[in-house]
Chains A and B, each alone.
Chain A
Amino acid sequence: MKKKLPWGELVFLLAILGYVLYYFLSVRGYGSRAVTWPYVLMVGTVLAVVAVAVEVIRKAPAKEEVQTPEGEEAPEKKTGFKAFLENSLSTLVIIVSFVIYTLLLKKLGIHLCNFLLSFFLVLYISKGKWLTALIAAAVVTLSFYLVFGLALGLRLPKFKLF
């Protein structure tokens, strides 16, 4: 029987090998004392990747053959990239919002960024409770300003768009 290979994990393992390759190229030609230990680890990583790959392929479950009664259509099963996107949408939203926060930090200042991000996060996760989001964002921004800006006296990025 054919096996259903865990392609996601195999791609992840390939990415690890890609990183090892990058590491190898970045230190190639250095004196031996600088790279002996990383070389030991690179060999170790490659061996471990091979061991894991063998294990996941060996343990991969057999492909299920879907049997549908005659005249009926098989239920549409979401697979591949579309299903991955649907499952990971909330994670992607968080990552993108964090990237935007980071990019705007120096321009808008930390407190305005804090307000906007906390407002957006509560609004998004609670699916539209805007009043809760507004109150929560205001409370968090004010608390962070009092603790980090005033009490700890940290030098934080300020609004300098204009």
Chain B
Amino acid sequence: MLNNLLAGFTQLFTLKTMLFVIIGAVVGLLAGAIPGLNDTNILTLFLSFILFIDPFPAVILMTAVFISCQTAGSIPAILVNIPGTPSTAASTLEGYALTKQGKAGQALGCSFASSLMGTVLGGIMALVLAPIIGKYALSFGPPEMFMLAIFGMTAVASLTGNSVSKGLLAAVLGLLVGTIGLDYFIGVTRSTFGVAELYSGIPQIPLLLGLFGVGELYSLIKKKSIGTGVQATDAPDVKSQMEGFKAAFRYKKSMLLSAVIGFVVGVIPGTGATIASFTSYGTARSISKEPEKFGKGHYEGLVATDTSNNASVPGSIVPALTLGIPGSGTTVLFISAFLMHGMQPGPSFFSEHITEANSIFLTVIFVGIIATFVGMVMAKHMVKVVSLPTHILAMLIAMFCLMGAYICRNKVNDLFIMLAFSILSIFLKKFDYPLPAFLLGVILGPIIEPNFFRALAISDNNFSIFFTRPICIVLWIMCLAALAMPKIIALKAKKKKEAESAV
């Protein structure tokens, strides 16, 4: 293991790769600080450019953007009460309360320290656990891989939206759209509308840019300015941030527990950083010696949310690399980046690319450190980024989407494909269908179908193979649990509300 780790270090610490790490960290910090843009949007815009970069630096660049986006998302949450990324919504609870007390710098320092520890602890857990999961996953055959993908989709479909049936419809529609193009066995065309660009399947970059780039643009142009109506506080200096930085380490127990919660929640498909941060906040409050201070600007709450939020990121990368099952919409982009470069994340990834996998987790840790210190220095200027005018931001997104969709294959029809998916995203969003579930279906579709047929070939076309193998049975149970989870959570919440109103 140590040898692999050293090899990962050697591969990461080259001049070229480090340059990508620094670029990714700075871009991620700036993008994460803009409310309305999230890690998924930014990584989508990046996807079209990484085609021109070697596979390894490309993935390192995306990892750097992903991590630093999470760190920076807390900045507008703390300063102006608007989360930079959806997962930093919990940071507003304590962070903005501290800002209102005139402790913006201290709150930012505390947030940076927590983000740093969350990323570092999450990265270490990933480095230790991922190879173990990867080794175990090698024993998975086609039926297990098929069921694993079905479980990932079920979990994302039922846990990311407000309605299980809408989530399932989005997922199964995504799977159906994922079968467009030449079929895997006979080579006949399926549902291509006579468009030659669709023969090789739905092109991923126009799809992603349509769903997350142009789709976001439509909602953005309706807002005059993202930061309108809120006053940015005085720019925080490094000295006050250092006070908060030190204060965070007074709550080591909450920090450690939140890192573990964040990592574990991150590993579960469909959950992600938002659930992780709210879960940790609740847990920290229940174990705190001063629970009455929560909600009024307490460092411990901020430590819990920001540590957990950042620890969930390496957690979500683990199933994407080891099992080929992305835990969130953002990690789907990771899988896309690998696929574009001819690498297939999944059980064999750790045996074939152990050095690269270790380098990715080392990048997580390294970017966590860079983003913290660069963020502390840049925080003063980020207040300006928060209030970037909508007309400039929207125009930039539009131009990057159009250029990105065109340059990936130099085909004009790809722009129409992007536009078609952007229109679909309007309706999916309007009627509250989870976009990640649809996207996961399209991306996993071409992986699921071959495994489905291989499993049937092994069993001589006997469908019982999906119900009799032990791992398949466990995965069926997990699918049912994922489907039942929203109902159980709703029932619990209802009971709690009833109990509270009775008192």
B419 touches A34 (CB 8 A): no
Evaluate contact between B179 and A37: CB separation under 8 angstroms.
yes
Residue of B nearest to A22 (CB): B191
Q: B172 contacts the other chain (Cβ, under 8 Å)?
A: yes
Known: A23-B191, A30-B186, A94-B218. A136 touches B419 (CB 8 A): no
In whole Å, how far is B378's beta carbon from the nearest beta carbon of chain A? 22
Please tell me which one of the listed residues A45, A55, A125 contacts residue B173 in the complex, with CB atoms under 8 A apart: A45
Question: What 0/1 readout, one digit per residue, does chain A (122-133) give for beta carbons within 8 Å of chain B?
Answer: 100110010010
Which residues of B sit under 8 angstroms from A117, Cβ to Cβ? 398-399, 402
List the B side residues contacting A26 at CB < 8 Å. Answer: 190-192
B184 to chain A, nearest CB (A): 8
Measured as residues with beta carbon below 8 angstroms from the partner, the interface class of chain A is: 35 or more
Cα distance, A129 to B395, chains bound together (Å): 14
Whether B399 pairs with A94 at a CB distance below 8 angstroms is no
Q: How far is the CA of A55 from the CA of B166 in the complex (A)?
A: 9
A41, B175: Cβ atoms under 8 Å?
yes
- Point out the residues of chain A lying under 8 angstroms from B19, CB to CB: none
**Inter-chain contact count A-B, CB under 8 Å?**
145
Cβ of A108 within 8 Å of any chain B Cβ, yes or no, is no
Structural contact, B419 and A95, CB atoms closer than 8 A = yes
A126 to B173, CA, bound (A): 37
| A140 (CB) vs chain B CBs: closest residue | B399
The answer to the question of B222 belonging to the interface, with a C-beta cut-off of 8 Å to chain A, is yes
Interface flag for B354 (CB, 8 Å): no
Known pairs A33-B185, A90-B221, A91-B426; A122 contacts B395 (CB<8 A) = yes
- Give complex CA distance A44, B448 in Å: 15
Which listed residue, A20, A31, A125, A152, touches B395 by the CB 8 Å rule? A125
Q: Which residues of B contact A51 (CB under 8 A)?
A: 165, 168-169
Shortest A144–chain B CB gap in Å is: 6
The 0/1 profile, CB within 8 Å of B marked 1, for residues 40-55 of chain A is: 0110110011011001
* A64–B452 alpha-carbon span in the complex (Å): 50
A155 touches B410 (CB 8 A): yes
When C-beta atoms are compared, the residue in chain B nearest to A151 turns out to be: B52
Return the CB mask of A62-100 against B: 1 if under 8 Å, else 0. Answer: 000000000000000000000000000011001100110
Say whether A121 contacts B179, CB under 8 Å.
no
Contact A52 B399 (CB under 8 A): no
Judge whether B392 and A48 touch: CB under 8 Å.
Answer: no
Known: A118-B395, A122-B392, A155-B410. A48 touches B168 (CB 8 A): yes
In the complex, chain B residues whose CB is within 8 Å of the CB of A9: 431
Task: Annotate A12-26 by CB proximity to B: 1 below 8 A, 0 otherwise.
Answer: 100010001011001
Which residues of chain B are within 8 angstroms of A22 by Cβ–Cβ distance?
191
The residue among B163, B191, B415, B416 with the most chain A CB atoms within 10 A of its own CB is B191
Q: Mark B254-274, 1 if CB is under 8 A from A, else 0.
A: 000000000000000000000
Cβ of B481 under 8 Å from chain A = no
- Whether A45 lies near B172 (C-beta < 8 A) is yes
Indicate which residue in B191, B217, B391 contacts A132 across the interface (CB closer than 8 Å): B391
Tell me which residues across on chain B come within 8 A of A118, comparing CB atoms: 395, 398-399
Report yes or no: B169 in contact with A94, Cβ–Cβ below 8 A. Answer: no
B389 at the binding interface (Cβ < 8 Å): yes
Q: Do residues B218 and A91 form an inter-chain contact, with CB atoms below 8 A?
A: yes
Is the C-beta of B243 less than 8 angstroms from some C-beta in chain A?
no
Question: Within the assembled complex, what's the spacing in Å between the Cα atoms of A144 and B399?
Answer: 9
Closest Cβ of chain A to B408, distance in Å, is 11
Residues of B within 8 A of A48 (CB): 165, 168-169, 172-173
For B391, give its contact among A6, A27, A101, A125 (CB under 8 Å). A125
A23 — which chain B residues lie within 8 A by C-beta? 176, 190-191
Residue from B222, B392, B426 having most chain A Cβ neighbours under 10 A: B392
Residues of the B chain whose Cβ atoms lie less than 8 Å from the Cβ of A105: 406, 412, 415
Instruction: State whether B399 touches A34 (Cβ < 8 A).
Output: no
A141-156 vs B, CB cutoff 8 Å, 1 = contact: the mask equals: 0001000100010111
Taking CB atoms, residues of chain B closer than 8 Å to A144 are 399, 403
Given known A-B contacts A23-B191, A140-B399, A110 and B186 have beta carbons under 8 A apart = no
Tell me the bound Cα distance from A37 to B430 in angstroms.
29
Closest B residue, CB atoms, query A38: B179
Q: Which residues of A contact B237 (CB under 8 A)?
A: none
Q: Would A99 and B169 be within 8 Å (CB), given that A27-B190, A117-B402, A125-B394 are in contact?
A: no
Binary interface encoding of chain B residues 392-429 relative to chain A, with 1 for a CB under 8 A from any of its CBs, else 0: 10111011001100110010100110010011001100
A105 to B410, CA, bound (A): 11
- A37-B449 in contact (CB<8A): yes
User: Given the complex, which residues of B lie within 8 Å of A102, measured CB to CB?
Assistant: 412, 415-416, 419
Q: CA of A117 to CA of B415 in the docked complex: distance in angstroms?
A: 14
* Cα of A128 to Cα of B416 in the assembled complex, Å: 28
Residue in A12, A34, A49, A99 whose CB lies within 8 Å of B190: A34
Decide if B197 is an interface residue (CB 8 Å cutoff).
no
What are 9 pairs between A and B in contact, CB < 8 Å? A33-B453, A38-B179, A44-B175, A52-B169, A94-B218, A95-B419, A125-B391, A125-B395, A136-B395
A residues touching B (Cβ–Cβ < 8 Å)? 6, 8-9, 12, 16, 20, 22-23, 26-27, 30-31, 33-38, 41-42, 44-45, 48-49, 51-52, 55, 90-91, 94-95, 98-99, 101-102, 105-106, 110, 114, 117-118, 121-122, 125-126, 129, 132, 136, 140, 144, 148, 152, 154-156
Nearest first, the 7 closest Cβ-Cβ pairs linking A and B are A48-B169, A125-B391, A126-B391, A34-B183, A51-B165, A44-B172, A102-B415
Q: A51-B169, A55-B165, A94-B217 are in contact. List 17 more A-B contacts (CB 8 A).
A: A23-B190, A30-B186, A34-B186, A37-B449, A37-B452, A48-B168, A51-B168, A91-B221, A94-B218, A101-B402, A114-B403, A121-B395, A122-B391, A136-B392, A140-B399, A148-B407, A154-B407
